[in-house]
Structure 1
Amino acid sequence: MNPRASTLWRGPRWTLAVLLACLSTVGPFSIDTYLPAFSGIARSLGASPAAMQQTLSAFLFGFALMNLFHGALADSFGRRPVVLWGMGLFTLASLGCALSQNVGTLVFFRALQGISCGAGVVVSRAIIRDMFPPHEAQRVMSQVTIYFGVAPAVAPMVGGLLFVHLGWHAIFWFLVLVGTALWAIAWRLLPETLDPAQRQSFHPRHLLAGYWQLGASPRFMALALASGIPFNGMFLYVLSTPVFLGDILHLAPTQFFWFFCISIGGIMAGAWTSGRLAGRIKPQHQIRHGFLIMLVISAVNVVLNLLFEPHPAWALLPIGVFAFGWALMMPVVTLLVLDQAPDRRGMASSLQACVGSLANGLVAGAVVPLVMHSAIALACTSAAMMLIGVLAWVWVKPRVT
């Protein structure tokens, strides 16, 4: 924690939490906003389904790759410059997407979006730990988790409205406005939170030593898996929304909001509960409660799908309960990840985000197309994602207590 933290932000602490939450949501929001316009973009640009899939894969892998470096840059040059350059480049990339006339150009600028927007996700986590002691940091991280989890659910609704009423270009013009607004607010309000005494050398040998130290640590990697993989147990349902809700549950597009209300409600309730429990129970107990909730509801979801035909009356509720359990444990695990490297929190945040985004990319590009047409396959895959997190936590728990 920066010893001058109390003097760096003059306003109410909740306003800093809101700014960091908004910076954190740029990545997930950019992933999902244009999904409802997939078919419309393909028709407009004359692109094949495979080519359109590249616009998503390019973003996700650009996001994952650059996540390795945002934190190291922030550890060396400061948090504020990395956020400003990242938001500036994201705005220009969004402008390029809005003006694209062919799918190749769109793929290029989507990759550039992915490369740039990770700065907000990675650096905001390091800023939280720079500015707040552990219990307060958990409360702020809980607030950020609310926004981070809500974004993938809200983004398709926003994108769908823009696509229907204004066309697919409007989605990227909207992202231009988002990037411009966040850059201006960060320029005006965001302080430099990295203590000068904690700056790290950007020499390649020093960087490689840091990456090796963290990447070769079984404890760090287990925590990264425990924090990043279970999210996909819910995220695969978001990516499968058109098929799962329309073809399997037979909901009309106007009824899709029930899915988003339930999943968003679970995230908000879980994150709020996490913040309320900060300092009241041991962090490890809170993580255990979150995983236990996800474990039980995943088993219930699989059994229900095996015994009954999927029906909206019961099929959406397990997703909301799963989201509650994920949001309950996520802020605590993230802080444990950052505290594995107190002098390299930016790099730790980078590697954690990279693990999560690589998992998201794999799920979006390879897993979802295989399972989205079957409710049973979706339920089993969601449970498998959760079990990876459980096994990682069971292994690492004795080593962090």
Structure 2
Amino acid sequence: MTTKKYIKLILILGSLTALGPFSIDMYLPGFSGIAKDLNTSVAKVSMSLSSYFIGISAGQLLYGPLLDRFGRKKPLFIGLMVYILASLGCVYVTNIDSFILLRFVQAVGSCAATVASVAMVRDLFPVKDIPKVFSLLMLVLGLSPMLAPTIGGYVTEDYGWHMVFLILMFMGIGILIASQIGLPNSYKPDTSISLKPKPIISNFIKVLKEPQFYTYAFTGSIAFSGLFTYVAASPIIFMDIYHVDAKTYGWIFAFMSISFIGSSQLNSLLLKKFSSEQMIFSALIVQSVITIIFLILSLNNLLGLYETIGMLFLFLACLGISNPNTAGLTMAPFAKNAGSASALMGAIQLGLGALASFAVGIFVKDSVAPMVVIMTATTIIAFIVLNVGKRFITQKVEIAAGDDAVIGH
């Protein structure tokens, strides 16, 4: 593969990956404007965020079988068309219930991009390159929460919240054109895959029974729910407890993203010396130590604004290293069922992340400690799952020096 082609593929796959985060983060500054225009409360507007998460979770499982049955590009085209039309609908919406429903439809559409991008990484790149490619996609994923709320804030202030959804619609159109022209047909449609519920469910069960899948999917997802915890808790922690203003909060959020991006890029360099297994194990050990220290400090009221930022920065750095490796090893055994495996991995990650953020909503009120308790628990559980799960892997598909997957005993 030439460098030019490699960069082109990464850029297109990266844009597919970024669509979801932009759709989640970009309209957040417009909540009060939406509430005012649709004659409702900000709390009711936040239901549109919940409906979006439900849509992503459902869409993850829907597109897996479709991508395996019809190839990658056709379901991707349909999903992006649904996204574009739903975004346009959000511009002209007149009541909150329609808005909540359209956000659900928008999420189902955007999900095609997320699932297809992960499956196409498995199609287009040799197994040894997968963690490196995921690290580059992490760069895009990390930039999105830095850029989206900032852009959304300026757009909302100058042109109103409707313009945010027009921009998202044009993003969808651009990504649709780029993916249809720039991406190869990476996977031939497999007519042997049935779309009836029973075979689909049995296919997911087959994927789930693979020890390498459940070990690394659950290790990665449980650890990664710490990121969802941070995102959900950060407005309360920084704006309510430490009383920073919205602009400063935006800069803190951007600074934190640097940690996640930087470490996921460092991961690419470290993979030249260490295996993915070593990276995951080491990252979780360090993450456990950080969260325990963080917990002791929070329970003893020894944390100010800067100490909290410092501890969270280190915590997110560990996630930036472990996440591309758990994703790579989760997907490695699946040449045939990559779409279903990708969908199931996404659904598990999102489901556990939603649980973590739901816990934040219940427990995080006027102290940093509940957030740190959730982070410590998820880190230690992930470490236990990794060490127990590894015992069941008899045939391991490794990220090896050669071009193809290597079966280890």
The residue that corresponds to 2:322 in the other structure is: 329
CA distance in 1, matches of 2:178, 2:292: 44
Structure 1 counterpart of 2:181, from 184, 188, 209: 188
Among 153, 170, 191, the residue aligned to 1:177: 170
Output the amino acid matched with 2:214.
M
Aligned to 1:286: 279
Is the CA contact 2:283–2:319 (under 8 Å) kept in the aligned structure 1? yes
Contact 2:127–2:332 at 8 Å: present in 1 too? no
Give the C-alpha shift of residue 35 in structure 1: 2.1
Query: Residue in 1 aligned with 2:407?
Result: none
Shift of 1:341: 3.1
- Give yes or no for the alignment of 1:398 onto 2:391: yes
**Is 1:265 aligned with 2:258?**
yes
2:310 maps to what in 1?
317
The residue aligned with 2:69 is 76
1:108 maps to which of 93, 101, 118: 101
- How many equivalent pairs are there? 393
Any conservation in 1 of the 2:123–2:335 contact (CA below 8 Å)? no
1:388 alignment partner in structure 2: 381
Change over 3 Å in CA distance of 1:131–1:119 after alignment to 2:
same
Q: 1:135 aligns with which of 122, 128, 131?
A: 128
CA gap of 1:151–1:389, structure 2 versus 1, over 3 A, is farther
TM-score (norm: length of structure 1): 0.91
Counterparts of 1:53 and 1:133, CA distance in 2: 42
Q: Deviations over 1:270-313 (max 9, x none)?
A: 11111112343121101112212221221222122223354222
Find out whether 1:226 has 2:219 as its counterpart. Answer: yes
- Which range moves more in the overlay, 371-380 or 67-76? 371-380
In structure 2, the residue matched to 1:238 is: 231
1:38 and 2:21 aligned: no
Q: Is the 8 A contact 2:115 2:339 kept in 1?
A: yes
Shift of the alpha carbon at 1:159? 2.0
Q: Kindly state the Cα deviation for residue 316 of structure 1 after the two structures are TM-superposed.
A: 0.7
Match of 1:58 among 28, 51, 56: 51
Alignment of 1:111-126 (within 5 A): 111-126=104-119
2:8 maps to 15
With 136-145 and 24-33 compared, the bigger mean Cα shift is at 24-33
Cα distance in 2 between the residues matched to 1:220 and 1:182: 30
Supply the distance in 2 between the matched residues of 1:43 and 1:243 (Cα, whole angstroms). Answer: 23
CA distance in 1 between counterparts of 2:311 and 2:251 reads 13
Matched-pair contact (CA < 8 Å) for 2:232–2:360: no
Aligned to 2:19: 26
**Structure 1 range deviating more: 146-155 or 335-344:** 146-155
Alpha-carbon distance change, 243 to 203 in structure 1, aligned in 2, over 3 angstroms: closer
Q: What amino acid does structure 2 have at the position aligned with 1:122?
A: V
- Give the aligned partner of residue 3 of structure 1: none
Native 8 Å contact 2:57 2:351 kept in 1: yes
Q: CA deviation at 1:222?
A: 3.5
Of 257-266 and 347-356, the range deviating more from structure 2: 257-266
Note if 1:376 corresponds to 2:369: yes
Q: Do 2:82 and 2:109's aligned partners in 1 also have CA atoms closer than 8 Å? A: yes
Please, which moves more after superposition, 175-184 or 201-210?
201-210
Shift of 1:107: 0.6
Deviations 1:95-148 (A, max 9, x none): 111211110110111000111111111111111111111222221111011222
Q: Percent identity among equivalent residues?
A: 26
How do residues 248-263 of structure 1 correspond to structure 2 at under 5 angstroms?
248-263=241-256
Q: Indicate which of 159, 173, 190 corresponds to 1:166.
A: 159
CA RMSD of aligned residues (A): 2.2
- Return the letter of the residue paired with 2:331: L
The Cα shift of 1:372 comes to: 4.8
Q: Are residues 1:201 and 2:193 paired? A: yes
Write the distance in 1 (CA, Å) between the matches of 2:278 and 2:132: 16
Q: Which runs of 5+ in 1 are unaligned?
A: 1-5
- How far has the Cα of 1:354 moved from its partner? 0.7
